[in-house]
Each structure stands twice: as structure tokens, then as C-alpha cells.
Amino acid sequence: MPRLQARSRNFFTCLTLCSTSLLLASPQSHAQMYRLAEDRAGKWETSLMWKYQDAADISHKNGNRVEFSSADRWGFTLGYNPSNHFNVHWAFSYLKPGYTANIAQENLPPLKPGEDPYPHPATIDHTASVVSNQLNFAYNILKGKFTPYISAGLGWTNIDSNIVSGGGIICSPYYPYWCSTYTNTFNDTNFSYNVGAGIRWDIDRDTFIRAGISQEYVDMSGISGSTPTFNTGQFEFGFRL
């Protein structure tokens, strides 16, 4: 865990330094950077997102524990600017973190005759799929092209273990007839919310960059301790519609 924590600190330090360097390296003057972005208000926009999620541990009251590794993948947003200060956007992200699940002995299914005993501790190493949908509300502190912002949002998060729980065959009752197999997995969908902060730069009338960090809370049932928290970072390249 110390190595993971150090890696997390290095990532967020790098994000801050890169964002600062982006501003300093711009050929535009500071006066230009802070001028009003008159065309932002009243406009729709979309962005492609790279998202990073730090490692996290989740403990359940029944004694089970899941350790998620850090992961990064992709996402996108669709939003609207009611004014130069306010922005509201829907954000979708998809991650595939590895995880180790430690199963308490009392939660293991009974052994069948002739089966070998379960190992102790009983663990599962696999890869999860994490899908998050959030409606975010951001406040741009400055009206200009370059501004820090604060944000908060709410939505839902689905965590899929990718471990098969069952399946079957489904067939069409109408012509042309067809049949297909399907597989169910152990997964859970829960209410989630987030708070964050970052910077935004409207490069020109058509494109912008947004980078930030946030904490996402997933309201899982039966959790031991506080609500599971995921530290995340995201970098977006956006287009005004």
C-alpha cells in the first residue's frame, strides 16, 4: 500500500505541474488568457476524457474484503453552459481495475463430497468493470478563457465482478427465428456522488481543455466503516457544438 500511495501522490503532483506548464507555455499573453469568453455562455459542448482511478480497499461487514488496484481508461461528457460561470454536464466513464477479493471462510459455499478444502485465506484475483454516470455541476470562478473551477455531482456507479453467476439461452418467438446464449455476472449498481476541483482553458471558439481531481463516493450497502471513496483524476479535450 505505501507504494500505491506514493504512486497516487506522484500522479496528482504531475497533473498539477502539467496544468501549470500548459498555461506558461501558451504563446498567448496573460491578458488574452483572462479575457471574457463571450461565446461560451449559452453553448453546448462535448469532450473526450482520460480518467485515472487510484487504488482503494473496501471491507464488508460479513468479513469479506476487496482491494482494487489503480486503473485508467476512457470516458466522455456532454454539457451546457448557462453562463460563463456555470456549467452542467453528464459524464460517463469506463474503467477496468484489477482486484483481489478475500473471502471469509464462513461465507464460502459448503463443500461437496470428495472436494478439496478451500485454501486459507480464500482469494480471487480478477478484473472488474466499473461504469459511472454522473450529472456534474461546475462553477467557473473566473469568467475568462482560463479559470479554476469547483464541481459536485451525483449519479450511479455499477461495479461488475466479471465472475459468472449463471446464464441460459434466449430465443426469438417470431420469424426469423434465432437463439442466443447469455451470461449473468455478480454485479452491483449503487447511488454515487462526487466533489472536485480543477482548471479549464477555452483555447478558441471551438475547443477547450479541462483537467481536475475529484473524490467519488459509492453508497454500497453492508460496508464496514465509512462510504467507499475513490480518488480520481481526469483530463478532457472538448469541442463546442
Q: Decide if 216 contacts 233 (C-beta within 8 A).
A: no
- Three-state DSSP at 214 gives strand
Number of domains in the chain: 1
Domain that holds residue 53: 2-240
* pLDDT by residue, tens only, the chain of 241 residues: 444 445 555 555 555 555 555 445 455 545 555 555 557 899 999 999 999 999 999 998 888 899 999 999 999 999 999 999 999 999 999 999 999 998 887 777 787 888 877 777 788 899 999 999 999 999 999 988 999 999 999 999 999 999 877 667 777 777 777 787 666 778 899 999 999 999 999 999 899 999 999 999 999 988 888 899 999 999 999 999 8
95: domain CATH number?
2.40.160.20
Exposed / middle / buried, residue 200 (Cβ in 10 Å: 0-12, 13-18, 19+): buried
- Pairing between β-strand 129-140 and β-strand 146-171 as defined by DSSP bridges: antiparallel
